[in-house]
Structure 1
Amino acid sequence: MVRHFSFCIGLLIILTSCRWTNCSAAALLLEDKFRELELRLETTEARSVQVEEKVSQLEAQLELNNEIRNNLKFQVTKLEAKNVQLEFKIQEQEKLLNYLLRQTNRPVPVADSLSVPNNLKSPVQSTDSNKSGTPRTCKELRVIDPSLPSGMYSIDPDGQGVGENPIYVYCDMTSGSTSILHDSESAINVGHCADPGCYSRSIKYNASIGQIKALAELSFECHQSIKYDCYYAPFELSGYAYSWWNDRDGNAQYFWAGDNTEGIHTCQCGIDGNCVDNYAKCNCDAAVYAQLFDDGVITNKNVLPVTRLNFGRTQLPTSSGIHTLGRFECTGTVALTRMPTSCEDLWLVGHILNGFYSVMGSAMMESVYCDFTKLPGNDGFQKWIGYADVKSVPVHFYVQRTSNFNTTNIPIPFDLALVNKGNAMDLTSGIFTAPRQGTYYFSFTGLAQFSASSYTLALQVALNLNGGIIGKGHVDMSSTATTRWNQLTLQSTLSLKSGDQVWVDITSASSGVALHDNGNHYTHFTGFVLEEDIVASL
């Protein structure tokens, strides 16, 4: 600045003195000064370009170094996890070896097990005999040992001894949350490109998708945060998508917050209604040349985690996009407050042994085969076998009369009960009361006695449910010279509710006609429950 000022003063003096001296010499001097300035300007511009190139190279190198550092960190975490798994396998082999030595009466050597570094946590074993040894979530781990500090631990969401190998996760022992690490947790620049999804990055997790799905099934909620810093780099422009992410099944998703999986593009500001542009669903979709950002938390555990990030329309030199993806984190447990209705319910509460199980059906107990080497939703995880004959109470009776009976329109009473399991049949009243809801079978057999008559005589009985006739039995005989007998029967299968009442009565009987019995038990009534609606009984 001083030099330029001095030059201007000198130029003014030269122009002023040109009135009295030779102006030609002054002009030459002025031209030399201009050439000197042009040369300096060119040199400065060249240096400026070099500096800008150097800055760009340094920025690119910094991004590369950050990515290398993240990859190294991720690889170290994977190696630590593998080390813990190997240590666990060694311990299991040592236990097996010691067991075999004891069985053969051989001396058991003093354990010289490998020492585990302080920063690595070996699998903590559950003392609950009903569950697998290795905890399936960090919350389960915290229940086993509340004194454990937050850090990296080995868990096995799909169950110990089945499925895939245990995974190495970060456990927050304050909240009991489980976090799965990945290789793209730091801020990453998407660079410059024009087409939709021209930048695409696969996300590598420190766990298999199978174990991640198992963790999500076990957890009350799972989420993953994402942030996108943008400068004129829209997710969507004029209804055309340039950016999206892929879920655990590879499907494209266009929402960047919440649990919207219906293909609707939105961000957190769109949900809250406070985007920079009132007509846009995301801040980055605003057509303004300004540094903006969108951040949100994806909460649909059935599609998480994010497996790939795709961005585009950053071709302008001034455009920029930087993504930051959080860890896949799950908290809580799925509380099963009812009886298990499927293999998945059994898996949730910790069952790991393949086999046949009884589960609660819509009305009855059902038998299923569970293959716990697979995950819920996989083919072959559950196979339906059939219905299980489960009754909460035994109900069956067989009662008899020992004398004649001809009174109409009242329940037929009985004298003997050969069987009355559940005491649902009242001999004195002749009424059966259903103790449980379900399907019942009843059968009545009677011997009608007809006295001598020149007329047609008849006897009619009915099976009643709560006072309503369900079915009738009829027998008659004409012109009998002497006493005669004829048998009648009545059967029915009924769907009863608890408290329903069933009985047999004589609805009509001619004079001189009766149900006969003399101790030989010609008249008898039996019934039993075929199937109980077990759901209604619980």
Structure 2
Amino acid sequence: MAYYSAVIQVCFFLLAYYICLTAGTDLEGRFLQFEKNFVNVKEALEAKVVTLETKVARLEAKVEQQESQIAALILKEREKDQSSSTKKFTMSVELNQNYKRNAIFRTCQELRSSNPLLESGMYWIDPDGQGVGDDAIHVFCDMKSGKTLIGHDSESKIDVGKCAEPGCYSRKINYYATDRQIESLIGLSNNCSQRILINCNNAPLNVGGVEYSWYNTKSKKSDGKQTFSDWLTNCDSSRTQDTGRLVNYQQILNRLNFGGTLKGSLQHTLGKIECEGKAKNEGMPKSCEDLWRMGHTLNGIFAVKGSKSIESLYCDFNRRPNENGFEKRIGYADVKSDPVHFYVQRNSSFNTKYTPIPFHFARVNEGNAMNLTSGEFTAPRPGTYFFSFSGIAEYSHLHKNQVFMYIGLFLNGVVRIGGDFTEEGSSYYHSNKRGPLSFQSTLNLDNGDKVWLQIYASSNDVYLLEDRENHFSHFTGFMLEENIVASL
């Protein structure tokens, strides 16, 4: 509108100029004609302005409509991109979880050995074994050295603040791995360490023999309190920055404790757990732990080097080396256990009936299954056992009637397995007379079964002969074979 108004004004001034020039010739007629023409031009221009304004309004409406459509398209594309990103993220998580489940390597050292071209960075490893134990863990692998680094939530420089009492500041260290995985990594590595940096000023660590600051380490057996005094010596007055490194790392540092900072200051920085190398396992494996360090993860029976011969082990790699049931020796402890055998004797004669015969000493009593005082043998494990007895019965006085002694092997107080006897018919004699006794037995026993010798019939003047020098009575027994199925 402003543009067309300006055009009209210019035309008006041109017209006035023309009138001045033609003032001498019919000025009035020309002026009237000019006025008429001006009105026509004005009306035409105004009509054109209205038309143009209408077109502009339509164009603006169209532009607004197109902008609205563009905005809708942008929103739709954003939603599409967001859906695609969500899908990609979900796929990434799934792939990540699959990678975690399918982790093969137990340490960064193993990963580096498999591909020396890998760059340092974050990788998934599974120290306690693929498919067993805890989930894989995300660690930093230094591919130049093969080190495995496990992080935690206290790696930044942290101010203890004002704290007067011993250990009044206490911070638990939360690692990005389970204790089981960390312990497994330590067991697989040649050496593990952790760096501690202390910045302190006028914050004594020990006052009058009282420790104000310490750290705790944790293992399966105990929580250990460790002091900083081995490497940090000067926090009393001057500003000190000391770095200590826990080497030969075997127990997990799980808590930092500080105190005595009321008049001073102290900050701590705890580094990652760093493990490197491979645990040494020279020669043939001697245990399930040696096999585990070598990389075995499938449960089974293995032959290992024993102290005197090759031995058989059952290894349960679903467990850790320090857990019960990880290793069972076949033929020895846990499955086919330690040997069981005994040989016992008496020092004096005996003729008490209906009770187990006690003994005074044992030449051998491997497994301690024979109780000398009670005279009872208790089977420690189910299996096949052999027993043997020999002795001498003595008729010590003159007699004219028949004399005898019956001795037997009893099982659990009810069953007489077998035995032997000696007897002498009626006769007169003035010196002692003797008769031998002996028997053997092989029995299948259950765990806890009791076996003993007993005189179950005899004349009054008949004794089981014995003295301290000659030892005529001999009772022996041993386990021939253990019932492994019943033991498991």
TM bucket normalised to smaller: 0.3 to 0.5
* TM-score normalized by the length of structure 2: 0.47
* TM-score normalized by the length of structure 1: 0.43
